[in-house]
Amino acid sequence: MSDQSTLKQRIENHGLIAIALGLILIYWVFDSMVTDQFLLRLLVVALIATYSVLTQHLINTRKDAEIDLKKSQEGFVHEMDALKSEIAEIKKGPSS
């Protein structure tokens, strides 16, 4: 089960890059059958690869930020609950 979750996590973290590599491969094969413009083909491949890597980085950064935000919200709620219970004890009056 852990191997499946690790594989799923890797796919989520690098899925866009894998899709782009597949598209690059398909593009390279079909374009090489039609034209002999190697440099133009290389430029298109470099642009697609760069775009996919940068976009995947932005997606991963956003996911990490959302996880951190959720953790901080949970900590804030915990602190608020602790403060509410302390205020309730203070309102009860001094314990003798």
> Which residues make Cβ contacts (< 8 Å) with residue 1, sequence separation at least 6?
none
82 belongs to a structural domain = yes
> Mapping DSSP to helix (H, G, I), strand (E, B) and coil, where does residue 1 land?
coil
pLDDT value of residue 1: 58
CA dist., res. 62 & res. 54, Å (int): 12
pLDDT of residue 11: 85
Instruction: For 58-70, write each residue's pLDDT tens digit.
Output: 999 999 999 999 9
Q: Give yes or no for residue 7 having a pLDDT over 80.
A: yes
Does residue 96 lie within any of the structural domains? no
Total number of domains in the chain: 1
Q: pTM of this prediction? A: 0.73
pLDDT tens sequence across 10-57? 888 899 999 999 999 999 999 999 998 999 999 999 999 999 999 999
pLDDT level of residue 95 (50, 70, 90 thresholds): low
CB atoms within 10 A of CB 52: 20
Q: Which range of residues forms the domain containing residue 59?
A: 2-91
